Structure 1
Amino acid sequence: GDPAELITRYALPKLYKLEQEYGSFITGTIKKGFKKKTSDELKVTRKVFSVKGGLSSLTEALYKLSGKDSFILGVSDLKPEYKEGKFHISFSNSQNENITIIANKLITTSGAFSLDTLLTFIDNESLSKITNLKYANVVEVILGFKNWNGMNPDGFGGLIPSIEKRDLLGVLFMSSLFANRTPENGTLFTLFLGGMRKPEMYNKSENEIKAIVEKEFVSLMKPSEFEPELFKINYHKNAIPQYGIDSGERFDMVDKLENQYKGLIIGGNLKGGIGMADRIKQGKELAVRACG
């Protein structure tokens, strides 16, 4: 994101809390290190982890354990209505059958940009306070080498500061972070381009992206030759929400709408943080609210 537009208390709430409680982020980090931890806090680790087989294994397990019959996938013409304190949700399933479900609660974790087409029972003026959230488009590039001959990618990777004037946002050393991602002696990298700093990257062709990546990657990682066995490009539209100055107004509107339409729960990355940990934390909170 653009540091000039991001608001710390919304985009980085943990850092903001340290500053408010201890006077500064650095002082807070040091003092918190000496603070006695609770039994739950002692269980927390900074170790980077994933799921065997990739994160899709987690969602697939949840899908199976929750009961496949509890899910309806591939729907179209989705139209929810709010009538007498209930949600009447009409749609067509994958067999083109028209179905209506009446529910006490309606939960959405969709991006802010899609809510005006989903929550059609809410007036546009109110929803616009949420749907005006800016998102950064990102280009993800995956590079795989069977026999790597360059700088030792031992570590996490790194973000590239704007002052360096590069066309990359950052690079992750995936084969160092996670086990079983490559064949023996193989190396895997994930690179990111675009974002708010370089939005034009999202509109470039794959050939243009390949040329940019080769130039930047060789400059950074110093391979003796650039001949990856794997070169995959993914374009992610509306990838990263930007928690700017209007975030407080957006959060207030979410609260207002949830109070106005009893049983409506609005989640997703439009509130509560943008990272994976934020999504897991929010998922648990939404589950508790849904069962309450």
Structure 2
Amino acid sequence: MRTNDKTRFAGLIGLALGGCMLSAVATAAGTDAGPTTSNKLLLTGGVSQLEGAAGGGLTPWAVIGGYGTRDEIGANAFYTRVNLPDYHVDTAGAMVGLYNRVELSFARQRFDTEKVGAALGLGEGFTFRQDVVGVKVRLFGDVVLDQGSWLPQVSVGAQYKKNDQDGVVRFVGAKRSQGTDYYISATKLFLGQSLLVDGTVRFTKANQIGILGFGGDLNNSYKPEFEASVAYLLSRHWAIGAEYRQKPNNLGIAREDDWYDAFVAWAPSKHVSLTVAYADLGNIVIKDRQRGLYASVQVGF
């Protein structure tokens, strides 16, 4: 790993440890001042995915972010780093969950092409930046309370994405540098078996989640893509799992592969969580086998 990458990961771990300290202070303050604003079980609100929604690292879940129940408001802030052999991605953002019904989120993504940028004539370290504004609404079901029902929690959402490299993405064949994904998610928690399962269908035109724009010479219409997550709760504080995310192939110049990951999530309290994963993102532009470490820290209530 390069020196600057080590520095960034050291900063990420430092932020996680700092979050643990803040968590201890907040917990102590809550003991003196009365009840906190959260009654949800640990880890049932998910973590922050790459585009800012509550869920796994790669795909949203039907859960509403934060630990607020139907009479409460919850919120999270997060930072995520994905380190690949030829690229790296940094994402930071925040979300707010309103009364376990509506989630609003924002994420800013930074995709660094490193030496590949020079090979493509863009310059070494050329960077794409993308802003993602999301909204999610719970339609019915409750992932924790509906243990006696076969019905999952179901939510619908939208993510508006705007890329800052309009000229570049159009040059490689994309039709637009901005677009909106729409999705529907169903999440079921089998509390007795400590197992959470999610299935999501996303309607999208995005190339590499929008980093290379939207639509292209091969396809310029919305296509349904399937996403799935499974998580096993080892204890109140630890979970392991895996994710899968289908991707569309819109650009003749840049084949896309589906994404996979295997993760471990640790939540010492409701105020902080740390997720580490091994992610396989396949082919990205001219480089195959883009596999590497995903790390994310989330703080909130």
Give the TM-score, by structure 1 length: 0.25
Give the TM-score, by structure 2 length: 0.24
Higher relative contact order, structure no. (Cα contacts within 8 Å, ≥ 6 residues apart): 1
Q: Which has the higher strand share?
A: 2
Mark the structure with the bigger radius of gyration: 1
Q: Which has the higher helix share?
A: 1
